[in-house]
Amino acid sequence: MEPAVKVYKENFDHPIYNFDLSTDESKNFIADLKPELIIGGPLAKIFQAQGRGTKPWEGQI
Look at residue 2 and tell me whether its pLDDT is greater than 90. Answer: no
Nearest alpha carbon to residue 40 among 13, 23, 21: 21
Write the Ramachandran bin of 59: left for phi over 0, alpha for psi from -120 to 50, otherwise beta: left
Q: Report whether pLDDT(59) > 70.
A: no
Contacts of 25 (CB under 8 A, 6+ apart): 19
All residues at 6 or more sequence positions from 54 whose CB lies less than 8 Å from its CB, including other chains: 60
Structure confidence at residue 20 (pLDDT): 84
List, for residues 17-49, the tens digit of each pLDDT value.
888 888 999 999 999 999 998 877 666 666 555
Between the two ends of the chain, the Cα-to-Cα distance in Å is 32
Per-residue pLDDT, 33: 93
